[in-house]
Chain A
Amino acid sequence: MAGKGLVQKVRDTQVWKSIFRHGPPDNARNRAAVVAGNVFLHLHPIKLKKSGVQLGYTWCMGGLTFFIFLALTVTGVLLMFYYRPTAEYAYNDIIALKEHVPLGIMREIHRWGAHAMVITVWLHMFRVFMTGSYKPPREFNWGVGVILLVLTLLLSFTGYLLPWDQLAIWAITVGSNMAKATPFMGHGGPGAMLAQIGDFVMVSDKNDVRFQLLAGRFVGEPALLRFYILHCVFIPCVVGVLIAIHFWRVRKDGGISAPL
């Protein structure tokens, strides 16, 4: 027993050994093993250039964006336990989230986290531009990143409707009416007039892009349900796939950029 502390005892148990297949990461071999052998940590390379771990260089904004995305997923799932996306219940459920539920700050964390994610994703782009990290061989990954940025904004935008208060409905009304003005595809946009044969209007308020977005001619209950599905299921799935591509390509394109 002498010289063998409790920590070492735990490390020697069969249970511990079945989970962690290497010793403490205090030597080169185990440091490699811990990163390569862990499904989460193996997103990282085993070794990387020193400039790539310096906060002054990376600002950590991409990493924080991903972390906030995960935090939003968790808090979002928790909020879904209490929220019903109907015109009758939505508003009351939001109030209940504040007053009838322990830790009444879950909605706050979700909302402020969403705002924070928009900020971090912008700053991430700012940093990547300033270090010229979009240059070959990383052109494609920059494009994936821009699409992720747009999806982040759309995620935040679709979530904005869900509290079903005046702030929500009018922000979405203004936003979705821009879709009405899409050239050729919205009934209030340029070109919609051309698609008119006699009295038959091909692009009208019943079949244009805004109707598809809202499932109606204005922001009503079908729009609430549609935005809920987009917010909770559709866009997060697309974002998840694109994040996987983004991270994969960071590694395959040579890791965090550094002077050639």
Chain B
Amino acid sequence: MKELINWLAEPIRSFPIFTILFILMLKYYKVIGTKKFGWGALIASIPVVAWFAADPNFIKIILWPDNIPINILIVLVSFFTWLTLYKCAENDNRLEAGEVPVEAMPENREKVWSWPNLVYTELFAIIACTVFLIAWAIIFKAPLEEPANPTWAPNPAKAPWYFLGLQEMLVYFDPWMAGVVLPGLIVVGLIAIPYIDTNPKGNGYYTFSERKMAISSFLFGWLVLWVYLIIVGTFLRGPNWTFYGPFEFWDFHKVEAMYNINLSEYIWIKMLNTPMPGNLVMREIFGIILTIFYVGALPVMIARTNFGQKLIEKSGQIRFYIFIFLALGMTSLPIKMVLRWLIDLKYIIALPEWELNL
């Protein structure tokens, strides 16, 4: 059983599993978004967590002080994802029945005094937060390792946990993509959301049915591409950034062959049986064509489809192309992951001479 979970946890399998679960979650959000399901899931998870925690290797990773925030993050994200689905389901059922959302009901629109309604809520939140922080600080000591030594790197050397999603991306992308371009796109994309999403509905109340596209793409980025990758980077990556299952001991000598091949080698050597051309651009011509197709031609082609036409009609050309560009930037990560798993692809364009690897 533990073997099976170790095997399933490897990103090549857990990423598709997680994606499928995500799609199912959105499809059956009205089932998940009920109190019955919430309690059921909570009760069902207790023995599972207990069984997981009984494993010495698993509990060691979980209780490592700098990993505590991720445990808290997992609990909070699961709870709040359920809560938001619950609220969405509640409102969507009301909307279907021709009623207004809960937030728009007359008793909730009514104005109340900030004192005491708001300030006391805040006071209790602050007290709870303080107690929680002090308890956390008493139970777990802040980690302190050996003094800094610039000549010897610890193994594994990890970034702070909130950047482990980015560090996990570094497995698939070069630093200039994973460390600069993609984070930049995330920030620009987040700021652009209000200007791209012209749907006037769902402003100020929870709803899924009225803004399916916006919510699905945001949650995919947030839950699958960000939180999931942080979990993988924290719990499942051990020495040498090799994959270790949740129950596996971090054996420093576990050797994992990672022979990755560039697209140019695939095509010139394996398919055409010729040596690689000396000219750099000629050598990488297939990767360059593919990339130009991906960022240049694909958006135009999507614009021609029914889906694209509808979007353009709703939000206009500029918004459409910005949206498609950002969406393609986001999907480039799963695409590269899948290519790596299926054909051991290293780079689509490999130009180390120009520091330009994609």
A107 and B122 within 8 A (CB):
no
A: which residues have CB within 8 A of B? 25, 28, 31-32, 34-35, 41, 44-57, 59-60, 63-64, 67-68, 71, 87, 91, 94-95, 98, 105, 107-109, 111-113, 115-116, 118-119, 122-123, 125-127, 129-136, 138-139, 142-143, 146-147, 149-150, 153, 156-157, 160, 163-171, 173-175, 177-183, 186, 188-193, 218-220, 257-260
Residues of B with C-beta under 8 A to A50:
107-112, 117
Residues A48 and B118 in contact in the complex (CB < 8 Å), given A64-B125, A91-B148? yes
Q: Find out whether the CB atom of B197 lies under 8 angstroms from the CB atom of A160.
A: no
Using CB atoms, name the residue of chain A closest to B208.
A130
**Complex formed: what's the CA distance from A63 to B126 in Å?**
9
Given A108-B137, A139-B194, A192-B355, A51 and B109 contact (CB-CB distance below 8 Å): yes
A144 CB to closest chain B CB, in angstroms? 9
Q: Is the CB of B69 within 8 A of A109?
A: no
Whether B108 contacts A51 by the Cβ 8 Å rule is yes
Is B354 an interface position by the 8 A CB rule?
A: yes
Q: Which residue of chain A has the shortest Cβ distance to B223 in the bound complex?
A: A126
- Are A165 and B146 in contact (CB-based, < 8 A)? yes
How many interface residues does chain B have, given as a range? 35 or more
Asked if B248 is at the interface (CB within 8 A of a chain A CB), the reply is no
- Give B79-105 as 1s and 0s: 1 = Cβ < 8 Å from A's Cβ atoms: 010011001100000000000111110
Give Cα A149 to B226, complex, Å: 15
- Could you show 20 A-B contacts with beta carbons less than 8 Å apart? A44-B119, A55-B121, A63-B122, A91-B147, A105-B134, A108-B138, A112-B140, A123-B80, A129-B193, A130-B84, A130-B87, A132-B201, A142-B194, A143-B194, A165-B147, A171-B157, A180-B175, A181-B179, A181-B180, A190-B176
Return the contact of B203 from the options A68, A135, A183, A219 (Cβ within 8 A). Answer: A135
A31 and B115 contact, CB distance less than 8 A: yes
Question: How far apart are the CA atoms of A177 and B170 in the complex, in Å?
Answer: 12
B330 to chain A, nearest CB (A): 15
Interface 9-mer from B44-52, B160-168, B268-276? B160-168
